[in-house]
Structure 1
Amino acid sequence: MLRDLDERSREIFKRIVESYLDTGEPVGSRNLARILPMALSPASVRNVMADLERAGLIFSPHTSAGRLPTDRGLRFFVDALLEVGDLTRDERSSIEAQVRAAGSGKSIESVLTEASQLLSGLSRGAGVVLTSKTDMLLKHIEFVRIEPTRGLVVLVGENGMVENRLIDLPAGLPPAALVEAGNYLNALIRGRTLADVRGELERRMAEQRAELDALTQAVVEDGLASWSAAGGGRPETLIVRGRANLLEDLKALDELERVRLLFEDLETNKDLIQLLGLADAGDGVRIFIGSENKLFSMSGSSLVLSPYRDAEQRVVGVLGVIGPTRLNYARIVPMVDYTAKVVGRLIG
């Protein structure tokens, strides 16, 4: 069993993983013997490495090469051996200042975009943010026609945040219907959350369908539905920043192919949203490594994710970092955790 590894085996395994996280290169028994805190010959180190390989924790990428950790080995390292650091006071202040500046009088999306960009810059990976349904207290809603069958819904919260969504308009919709739809909703929304308004509308429309004609009713329903995630409240808006970071320091064509596959994965928003949605199942940061998830199994990438919450501690989204499996987990975990807390305070 992995937990039964003796101290010598754990130390050698830890050094193999730390070397991989630092350089991305395999490490051999001779180099390990030089850096170990205990006196061991290269031959003794090789014997331990053979045991670790049989346990599925490390592997040899080439004949006569050094060893690298497997995805299973990285999971064991993260769960049992990782020493998570903490952010300095200056780092915390910098994160809070950047995210807060993005939210000053601007939309929620601008806050989340800045958070994604910030995580990308700090991690040298790709920053990702996934927004859930809007639960802020509402102040005003407006419908604007931009094409004959396309419209814009503008939702204003009592905290000053503004969100925009595009919706389809019924063919032949008269201009007055947009005004009527806005007036109808504005009589209901002030001081309520979107979930509250939807529940009230469903009740009213069941009782008073004659109050709105069919075309206006369609606008009202589509306008509110544009903020509702499919599948009972799942997250719906994905922001990814810093993909170019994943192209840096590539050493071989197979690594380029790995990143190409990752870019394809990032374009599959539906699958990515389903995966990131798993992160709101519990508190704190969650780590997905390589083949542990089917979405990134081909590209050999890891995700470090944390849910962020509103003032009532409801999960309203997920943010984090995507990068190679040799991410600096000890640094990125507290960084993602703190950024999620800052975003939650700001949008709550």
Structure 2
Amino acid sequence: MTDPAPGLGDLNARSRAVFRQLVETYLETGEPVGSRTLSRRLDLNLSAASIRNVMQDLEALGVLGSPHVSAGRVPTHLGLRMFVDGLLEIGDVSEAERQSIDAAVGGAEGDLAAVLDEAGAMLSGLSHCASLVFAPKSESAIRHVEFVGLAPDRALVVLVTEDGTVENRLFAPPAGMTPSAMREAANFLNATLQGRTLAEAAEAVTAAIAARRAELDALAADMVERGLAVWSGEASEGPDRLIVRGRANLLDGAQDALDLDRMRQLFDDLERKRDLAQLLDLAAGAEGVRIFIGAENKLFSLSGSSLVISPYMNAERKLVGAIGVIGPTRLNYGRIVPIVDYTARLVGRIVADRSAGRRKG
């Protein structure tokens, strides 16, 4: 049986003051913090020797660590979690930051992908870290489907969803496909799928084809099944659209070869989209911003990174996606949390407004 993790209740007032100042100094500088630095910053009339004793006690609790041979200490992931949960002071989005986000994200034209791209670029720039923005197709209802013939052996299926996204995929149409059969297939899908999510599409189409096989042209039925197959295989794979901006910020912040290797591992995981569906589920379970530190999420455990992430919703309060910042564990959490929260809320309002506008139209 493992011992329970230490909490703020295990610290007396002096230990708590030393711990808070040490973590705040570390997050500010990114460097190990020594007793002399703390004695200058603390207003407790404690000698450096007394502070060293407190730091040793905190290290014994597992909330501080000693990197290399440095005389200073840094918070462990456990210590950072204790600080974030109990001592972190969340600031407000500054007026300048608010105006920058409003101008970039609120002024983005085009479909939702353009809004998300602007949101990611803005978050990366404001945080000096990398941003991660993604949304699962399966959570957005289908608005319109269209087939476009390109060649006898190539066709395009275009999918427009209620969140404003327009995406397309190439596929091989059945031999002998005629323009009229192509229109019939599109009309059939639009009548069957409108208002349904992609995750619900396959079952609905299968049932509809079975019920209307006699009245549906054989070529059109084949076209429907082929076109839907291009998308339905992806519906169960979790987030499909993933935008990562500001990778160079993480590489610039790497302090040694080990840090670089960890960042490359993180980028590889992101490219493969490992565990992102699980991460989205965790974000969706929160009303606001969530913070994952180091090994708390296996996607980032190898890179020693932290993630500040918030879901964004549509007008029906259904999950549309999530938006966040990835960076070193020494993030300025108090500043980044409100920026992520404000951006996610703005994106959610834009999604809701566009959906309402389409319904009125």
Is TM > 0.5 for Structure 1 vs Structure 2? yes
**195-204 or 112-121, which moves further after superposition?**
195-204
1:112 to 2:116 alignment: yes
Determine the C-alpha separation between the residues in 2 that align with 1:136 and 1:258.
34
Residue by residue over 1:2-43, the C-alpha shift from the partner in whole angstroms, topping out at 9 and shown as x without a partner, is 222111111111111112211111011111111111111111
Q: Give the Cα–Cα distance (whole angstroms) in 2 for the partners of residues 147 and 237 of structure 1.
A: 28
Q: Which residue of structure 2 aligns with residue 163 of structure 1?
A: 166
The match for 1:84 among 55, 70, 90 is 90
- Structure 2 spans left out of the alignment, 5+ residues: 1-5, 353-361
The answer on 1:216 being equivalent to 2:228 is: no
Superposed, 1:6-155 pairs within 5 Å as 6-102=12-108, 104=109, 106-133=110-137, 139-146=143-150, 151-155=155-159
Q: Which whole-Å CA distance do the structure 2 matches of 1:174 and 1:48 have between them?
A: 78
Q: CA deviation at 1:208?
A: 2.1
Tell me, in whole angstroms, the C-alpha distance in 2 between the residues paired with 1:44 and 1:93: 46
Are the equivalent residues in 2 in contact too, given 1:185–1:220 (CA < 8 A)? Answer: no
Q: Return closer, same or farther for 1:338/1:173 CA change in 2, 3 Å cut-off.
A: farther
3-state SS of 2:275 partner: helix
Aligned residues: percent identity?
A: 50
* Contact map agreement 2:294 2:300 (CA 8 A) in 1: yes
What is the identity, as a one-letter code, of the residue corresponding to 1:94?
S
Q: Is the 8 A contact 1:143 1:179 kept in 2?
A: yes
Give the counterpart of 1:341 among 345, 352, 357: 345
The more displaced of 74-83 and 278-287 is: 278-287
Contact 2:274-2:299 at 8 Å conserved across structures: no
CA 1:140–1:254: 2 relative to 1, 3 Å: closer
Once residues 204 and 173 of structure 2 are traced to their aligned partners in structure 1, the CA distance between those partners, rounded to angstroms, is 23
Answer whether contact 2:280 2:321 (CA < 8 A) is retained: no
Partner amino acid, structure 2, of 1:324: P
Distance 2:150 2:320 in 1: 29
Q: Distance in 2 between matches of 1:328 and 1:178?
A: 54
In structure 2, relative to structure 1, the CA distance for the partners of 1:130 and 1:148 (3 Å cut) is farther
| Residue aligning to 1:289 | 293
1:313 aligns with 2:317: yes
When residues 167 and 271 of structure 1 are mapped into structure 2, their CA distance, relative to the original with a 3 A threshold, is farther
Query: 1:147, 1:251 → 2: CA distance?
Result: 53
Mapped to 2, the partners of 1:91 and 1:173 lie a distance apart of: 57
Which piece of structure 1 moves more, 283-292 or 251-260?
251-260
User: Which structure 2 residues correspond to residues 201-212 of structure 1 after superposition, within 5 A?
Assistant: 201-210=205-214, 211-212=216-217
Cα gap change, 1:150 to 1:38, in 2 (>3 Å): farther
TM-score normalised by L of structure 1: 0.88
Residue equivalent to 2:357:
none
Structure 1 residues 292 and 197: alpha-carbon distance in aligned structure 2, compared to 1, 3 A threshold: closer
Q: 1:64 to 1:122 in 2, by over 3 A?
A: closer
Match status 1:258 vs 2:265: no
Compute the displacement of 1:322 (Å).
0.7
Structure 1 unmatched runs, 5+: none
Structure 2 partner of 1:328? 332
User: In the TM superposition, what is the alpha-carbon distance from 1:154 to its structure 2 partner?
Assistant: 2.2
Shift of 1:149: 5.8
**Per-residue CA distance 1:135-155 (angstroms, 9 max, x = gap):** 556553212245766543323
State the Cα deviation string for residues 85-141 of structure 1 (Å, max 9, x = none). Answer: 011334223212211221x3x111111111111111111111111112265565532
Shift of residue 308 of structure 1?
0.4
Q: Which piece of structure 1 moves more, 128-137 or 294-303? A: 128-137
Tell me, yes or no, if structure 1 residue 302 matches structure 2 residue 299.
Answer: no
Q: Partners in 1 of 2:39 and 2:333 — Cα distance?
A: 25
Q: How many residues align?
A: 341
